[in-house]
């Protein structure tokens, strides 16, 4: 297996289940993420996505297993791993601008005041926040604006890895669309690695290079890694007409609707559990058709 930028090795997380026993959220989960990759993770509520992300962020310790970034084991939170929390987590006593400068000052301790403000303003502008609004407190901003401040705070620190936990969960479709585009724009300009949790299949297809699919818990698995074979730059209205779009979407829906349950609850028996790579590409000439395979167009590539 080749060396990944981020590698998750045999991660296991158990919690006390409240009845004296233990709840195994996932066992021996292993997967990797390449540098500059945008990876989304999809799975049903409660399967353990946030738990994985908290471990990646270094905010919680796994029961066993290691996370390595650039070959070095992660311990504790770090400025190299920026987090956009599900509920924005802006500091309510600071203005939008100060929330961003808060992060920058922590990252670049020797920068001058002017430089910090200039940098913060640039990133806020990048997510479409300019003028008076940046001096407002979070309570005076709309949900979408708060989310953008939170994204600007994370991006302004130029972390090597960005972790986003359902960042658009609470937004209406229109705002969501705008921010998704802004996120893509910022990401393409900065070449950061992104790991994002979402519940929205279309969002995942629009944004991701690869989608990790999780089965239901307990004993959840990262069962598949689906490559999104739609070229960038992607525009929401255009990608739906791409031949691969519905094939990929159907595959994801099938997984979440049926197979996530069928595959649930399988113990690892001590084996390292890596996702099966799945590549769906209708634009390539199909390989030898295998009639007994239902998913005839799927091509599993083992790397």
Partner 1 sequence: MQSLSLNKRAAILSVVLLAVFLGAWEISVTRQVIGEALTEYEILMGLGQQRAAVPPPSDVFIKAWEQLSDPFYDAGPNDKGIGIQLAYSIYRVLSGFGLAVLVALPLGFLIGMSPVAYKALNPFIQVLRPISPLAWMPLALFIIQDANASAVFVIFICSIWPMLLNTAFGVAGVRADWVNVARTHELGSLRTALTVILPAAAPTILTGMRISIGIAWLVIVAAEMLVGGTGIGYYVWNEWNNLDLTSVIFSILMIGVVGMLLDAFFAALQRAVTYAE
* Of 14 and 86, CB closest to Mg ion: 86
Instruction: Tell me the C-alpha distance between 52 and 58, whole Å.
Output: 10
**Which of these segments, 7-15, 18-26, 42-50, 286-294, binds Mg ion (CB under 5 A)?**
42-50
Q: Is 149 one of the binding residues for partner 1 (CB under 8 A)?
A: no
Bridge pairing between strands 64-69 and 210-214: unpaired
Cis amide bond preceding 96, omega within 30: no
Q: Does 15 bind partner 1 (CB under 8 A)?
A: no
- DSSP string across 178-216: HHHHHHHHHHHHHT-EEEEE-S-HHHHHHH-SEEEEE--
- Does residue 217 interact with ligand ATP by CB under 6 A? yes
Does 47 help bind ligand ATP (rule: CB under 6 A)? yes
Please, what is the minimum distance in Å from the beta carbon of residue 163 to partner 1? 9
108 is a contact residue toward partner 1 (CB under 8 A):
no
Q: What are phi and psi of 215, to 5 degrees?
A: -80, 170
Question: Among the candidate windows 31-39, 43-51, 232-240, 241-249, which touches Mg ion by CB under 5 A?
Answer: 43-51
Residue 149 CA to its chain's centroid (Å): 18
* Closest distance to partner 1 from the beta carbon of 24 (Å): 24
Nearest C-alpha neighbor of 144 from the set 188, 88, 102, 190: 88
Q: Do residues 77 and 59 lie in contact, with contact meaning Cβ atoms separated by under 8 Å?
A: yes
Among 53, 83, 204, 220, binds partner 1 (CB under 8 A): 83
Residue 45 binds which of partner 1, ligand ATP, Mg ion, none (CB < 5-8 A, kind-dependent): ligand ATP
91 is a site residue for partner 1 (CB under 8 A): yes
Whole-number Å distance between alpha carbons of 299 and 303: 12
Residue 54: in which H helix or E strand, if any?
helix 49-57
Residue number with CB closer to ligand ATP (48 or 65): 48
The total number of residues written for the chain in this structure = 303
* Closest distance of CB 19 from ligand ATP, Å: 12
d(CA 93, CA 146): 13
Q: Segment 212-271, which members bind partner 1 (CB under 8 A)?
A: none
Q: Does 50 bind Mg ion (CB under 5 A)?
A: yes
Q: Which residues bind partner 1 (CB under 8 A)?
A: 57-59, 76-79, 81-83, 85, 87, 89, 91-94, 102-103, 106-107, 137-140, 157
């Amino acid at each position: 297996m080749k060396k990944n930028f981020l590698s998750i090795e045999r991660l296991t997380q158990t919690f006390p289940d409240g009845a004296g026993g233990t709840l195994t959220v996932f066992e021996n989960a292993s997967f990797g993420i390449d540098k500059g990759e945008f990876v989304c993770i999809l799975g049903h509520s409660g399967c353990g996505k946030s738990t994985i992300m908290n471990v990646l962020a270094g905010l919680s310790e796994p029961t066993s297993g290691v996370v390595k970034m650039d070959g070095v084991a992660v311990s504790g939170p770090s400025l190299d791993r920026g987090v956009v929390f599900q509920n924005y987590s802006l500091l309510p006593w600071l203005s939008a601008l100060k929330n961003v400068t808060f992060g920058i000052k922590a990252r670049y301790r020797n920068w001058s005041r002017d430089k910090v403000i200039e940098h913060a303003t640039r990133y806020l502008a990048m997510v479409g926040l300019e003028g008076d609004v940046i001096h407002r407190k979070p309570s005076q901003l709309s949900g979408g604006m708060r989310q953008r401040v939170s994204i600007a705070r994370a991006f302004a620190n130029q972390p090597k890895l960005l972790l986003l936990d359902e960042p658009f969960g609470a937004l209406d479709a229109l705002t969501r669309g705008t921010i998704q585009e802004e996120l893509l724009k910022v990401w393409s300009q900065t070449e950061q690695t992104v790991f994002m949790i979402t519940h929205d299949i279309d969002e995942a297809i629009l944004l991701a290079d690869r989608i990790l699919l999780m089965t239901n818990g307990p004993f959840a698995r990262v069962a598949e890694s689906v490559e999104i074979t739609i070229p960038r730059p992607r525009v929401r209205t255009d990608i739906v007409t791409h031949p691969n779009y519905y094939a990929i979407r159907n595959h994801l829906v099938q997984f979440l609707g049926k197979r996530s349950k069928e595959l649930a609850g399988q113990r690892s028996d001590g084996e390292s559990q890596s996702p099966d790579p799945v590549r769906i590409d209708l634009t390539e000439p199909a390989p030898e058709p295998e009639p007994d395979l239902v998913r005839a167009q799927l091509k599993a590539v083992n790397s």
